[in-house]
Amino acid sequence: ASGSDENDVVIIGGGPGGYVAAIKAAQLGLKTTCIEKRGALGGTCLNVGCIPSKALLHSSHMYHEAKHGFANHGVKVSNVEVDLPAMLGQKDKAVSNLTRGIEGLFKKNKVTYVKGYGKLISPSEVSVENNEGENTVVKGKNIIIATGSDVKPLPGITIDEKKIVSSTGALSLSEIPKKLVVIGAGYIGLELGSVWGRLGSEVTVVEFASDIVPSMDGEIRKQFQRSLEKQKMKFMLKTKVVGVDTSGEGVKLTVEPAAGGDQTTLEADVVLVSAGRTPFTAGLGLDKIGVEMDKMGRIPVNERFGTNVPGVFAIGDVIPGPMLAHKAEEDGVACVEYIAGKVGHVDYDLVPGVCYTHPEVASIGKTEEQVKTLGVEYRVGKFPFMANSRAKAIDNAEGLVKIIAEKESDKILGVHIMAPNAGELIHEAVLAMQYGASSEDIARTCHAHPTMSEALKEAAMATYDKAIHI
């Protein structure tokens, strides 16, 4: 490693925050080194997060469609079976191709890649221990902490990645569990619960709060929960896990109402703990150089991503804000733009959120509940996919588009979509909101027919007037 010559920027962590920052920094002409301990670039997202989960969501959906959906379209298949090793193999291939792709991008952009565990020893020096236990010191005028996050443990529950798994274990189960209990009804729990449910597991989701995905618009959430229940996912809301017994063949979970009350026992072959993620700063030496953290272990930063220590910056899951890959990437670009003397900008009010189940749920901006709390006068325009010709043509008409616009100005405040491809459809709304558009701006934009996107146009019409097709 070219550790001893001084870099303009040294980045600790090669996830979507760190690797994007590294490439951008090099493109801006800064001498850049990125340190990653995992042995592969791409971080949580690429190795054990976004990408492998989407691979399995797609494969399991194909199986489920072949088994239960093809017949509706007059496609007859028999003996549809899951080949789990092949399914996991396709996921692993996607991951390794993509991680190697980032290594290629590092070479192309002349980013130095150092494999090893980074530890801050001064505001301009990182000591790196490689897998062979050797230490080098990498120096940089600026240091960016992009160490991301890790699974949040639940007190009293030990993750063994076999019977009691985190999201990482749930991406590589060697058998399809007969009964899967998911603790936590957030995006990750619902996505991975869906994967195994489609492959045949009986899935029960236990959630302490009174609702699944609390950040979602309430009306959309209700329809979403109903849709998941139709897919045979069971929910135990307002319920807490108070005991776990793994001594027998499977797992016995003792649960009780969140408010206290009678206990019941749940049996499972595998339990997935998905109760959130926590910033990862272990062994980083933050205390040594005096970088402050908040109560949740996150590193607070100013608008330029600077920590309280001059020359030391932080981005991505390790700082406050939505723990999402695309948000980490935006942080990374803006942070190095500041370092290079330019102006960077991230609009945290316009970070889309997508749950990649079937149907998908995607949202941008405010929920109706948030708008109410703000006391803003608003109008809602809705359009169901039942009335969208493309959705009917392909027999996939579950869901709706909901647009919330300010009453006086018609400015769009929030858009929420439940649809098979909601995660793609949402970006028209993100772009519209980024440009401060009114709902009428979308309604008067010509949309190709027949597309699912027309539902967005019709929902936009309905905020200030009437939709045509309903």
One of 244, 284, 362, 425 touching ligand FAD (CB under 6 A): 284
From the list 135, 171, 165, the residue with the least C-alpha distance to 153 is 165
Length of the chain: 470
Burial (Cβ within 10 Å: 0-12, 13-18, ≥19) of residue 329? buried
Q: Tell me the closest approach of the beta carbon of residue 126 to ligand FAD, in angstroms.
A: 8
The span of 299-307, 319-327, 358-366, 377-385 binding ligand FAD (CB under 6 A) equals: 319-327
From the list 387, 394, 399, 392, the residue with the least C-alpha distance to 466 is 387
360 belongs to the binding site for ligand FAD (CB under 6 A): no
Q: Tell me the closest approach of the beta carbon of residue 22 to ligand FAD, in angstroms.
A: 11
One of 325, 401, 433, 467 touching ligand FAD (CB under 6 A): 325
One of 7, 99, 124, 147 touching ligand FAD (CB under 6 A): 147
416 is catalytic: no
Q: Could you give the 3-state DSSP secondary structure of residue 339?
A: helix
Annotation-wise, does 233 bind a ligand?
no
One of 207, 269, 317, 428 touching ligand FAD (CB under 6 A): 317
Give whichever of 43 and 399 is closer to ligand FAD, judged by the CB atom: 43
Q: DSSP letter string over 282-300?
A: TTS-HHHHT----TTS---
Annotation-wise, does 187 bind a ligand?
yes
CB 200 within 8 A of CB 176: yes
Tokens 């959630």 appear where? Answer: 207
Q: Tell me the closest approach of the beta carbon of residue 213 to ligand FAD, in angstroms.
A: 13
117 belongs to the binding site for ligand FAD (CB under 6 A): yes
Annotation-wise, does 299 bind a ligand?
no
271 belongs to the binding site for ligand FAD (CB under 6 A): no
From the list 216, 188, 189, 197, the residue with the least C-alpha distance to 49 is 188
Please work out, in degrees rounded to the nearest 5, the angle formed at the alpha carbon of residue 241 by the alpha carbons of 236 and 244: 125
Amino acid at residue number 80: V
The span of 44-52, 57-65, 241-249, 392-400 binding ligand FAD (CB under 6 A) equals: 44-52
Q: Are strands 353-355 and 412-419 parallel, antiparallel or unpaired?
A: unpaired
Residue of 73, 345, 449, 469 marked active site: 449
Give whichever of 50 and 244 is closer to ligand FAD, judged by the CB atom: 50
146 belongs to the binding site for ligand FAD (CB under 6 A): yes
Please tell me the distance from the alpha carbon of residue 17 to that of residue 254, in angstroms, as a whole number. 39
Q: Tell me the closest approach of the beta carbon of residue 13 to ligand FAD, in angstroms.
A: 3
Site string for ligand FAD, 65-104 (x = CB under 6 A): ----------------------------------------
The span of 46-54, 84-92, 248-256, 377-385 binding ligand FAD (CB under 6 A) equals: 46-54
Site string for ligand FAD, 152-181 (x = CB under 6 A): ---------------x--------------
Centroid of chain to Cα 436: 25
Annotate 395-404 with b (16+ C-beta within 10 A) or e (fewer): ebbbbbbbbb
Centroid of chain to Cα 291: 27
Amino acid at residue number 255: V
The span of 10-18, 70-78, 99-107, 242-250 binding ligand FAD (CB under 6 A) equals: 10-18
148 belongs to the binding site for ligand FAD (CB under 6 A): yes
Q: Extract the tokens encoding 119.
A: 């530890």
Q: Tell me the closest approach of the beta carbon of residue 138 to ligand FAD, in angstroms.
A: 11
Annotation-wise, does 325 bind a ligand?
yes
Burial (Cβ within 10 Å: 0-12, 13-18, ≥19) of residue 103? middle
Give whichever of 316 and 384 is closer to ligand FAD, judged by the CB atom: 316
Annotation-wise, does 311 bind a ligand?
no
Residues that contact ligand FAD, how many (by CB under 6 A):
36
Residues paired with residue 30 on neighbouring β-strands, in sequence order: none
**Three-class secondary structure assignment of 61-124:** HHHHHHHHCHHHHCCCCCCCCCCHHHHHHHHHHHHHHHHHHHHHHHHHHCCEEEECEEEEEECC
Tokens 């989701």 appear where? Answer: 205
Annotated binding-site positions for FAD: 54, 118, 147-149, 317, 323-326
Catalytic residue ranges: 449
Annotated binding-site positions: 54, 118, 147-149, 184-191, 207, 276, 317, 323-326
The residues binding ligand FAD (CB under 6 A) are: 12-18, 35-38, 43-45, 49-50, 53, 117-118, 146-149, 167, 188, 280, 283-284, 316-317, 323-326, 328, 356
